């Protein structure tokens, strides 16, 4: 006979809001700290229900952070506890057999930045990557927002320069 001891799984639950309203169909990713690699591994993902509530279960015990996204909604993605980037993410520990509750997020509505990238001659430039940055008080540095660079559409400047 072979005796096997299985570690009890954990669960994480909470609510995702978009401003003052529950955010349905937001994505919640569970990231487990991998001590040997000194990196977070994504170990689970789910979507919120109509009330903005979610539960991730069947996860291994350990140190976690969460990433909240709502693609196409106009809301800005964030890591748990209002952090903009993974390397700044707050963590919490969930012991075997336990459920971490009230791991909530309130996503902020994003802004739109638009403009035209011009050469020194005043002509619009095509294929220029534009990466927005924001000052992070905790990190004491500028961090990119939105992750990847975006290539803007080139729109000829209006005669008024607006």
- Judged by DSSP in three states, 86 sits in helix
Residues 6+ apart with CB under 8 A from 37: none
Q: Residue 45 CA to chain centroid, in angstroms?
A: 12
> How high is the pLDDT of residue 161?
43
Q: Please write the tens of the pLDDT for every residue from 21-49.
A: 999 999 999 999 998 888 899 999 999 99
Q: Give the torsion through C-alpha atoms of 50, 53, 87, 19, to 10 deg.
A: 60
User: What local confidence, expressed as pLDDT, does residue 129 receive?
Assistant: 80
pLDDT (0 to 100) of residue 136: 75
**For the chain, how big is the Rg over CA atoms in Å?**
21
CA atoms 76, 21, 25, 13: torsion sign: positive
Sole residue written with tokens 């994505």: 27
Report the predicted TM-score, pTM, of the whole model to 2 decimal places. Answer: 0.72
The span from the CA of 86 to the CA of 83, in Å, is 8
How far apart, in whole angstroms, are the C-alpha atoms of residue 77 and residue 100? 21
Query: What was the pLDDT predicted at 74?
Result: 86
Residue 88, classed as helix, strand or coil, is helix
pLDDT on residue 153: 41
Q: Which residues of the chain have pLDDT under 50?
A: 147-162
**Phi and psi based region of residue 125 (left: phi greater than 0; alpha: psi -120 to 50; beta: remaining):** beta
Per the CB < 8 A criterion, the answer to whether 107 and 70 are in contact is: yes
Question: According to the model, what pLDDT value does residue 159 have?
Answer: 42
């Amino acid at each position: 006979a072979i005796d096997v001891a299985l570690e009890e799984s954990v669960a994480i639950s909470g609510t995702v809001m978009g401003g003052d309203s529950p955010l349905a169909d937001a994505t919640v990713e569970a990231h487990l700290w991998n001590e040997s690699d000194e990196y977070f591994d994504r170990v689970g993902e789910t979507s919120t229900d109509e009330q903005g509530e979610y539960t991730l279960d069947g996860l291994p015990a350990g140190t976690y952070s969460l990433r909240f996204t709502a693609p196409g909604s106009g809301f800005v993605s964030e890591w748990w506890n209002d952090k903009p980037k993974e390397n700044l993410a707050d963590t919490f520990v969930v012991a075997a057999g336990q459920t971490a509750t009230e791991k909530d997020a309130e996503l902020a509505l994003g802004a739109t930045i638009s403009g035209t990238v011009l050469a020194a001659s005043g002509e619009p430039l095509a294929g220029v990557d534009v990466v927005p940055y924001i000052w992070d008080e905790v990190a004491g540095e500028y961090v990119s927002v939105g992750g990847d660079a975006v290539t803007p559409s080139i729109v000829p400047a209006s005669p008024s320069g607006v």
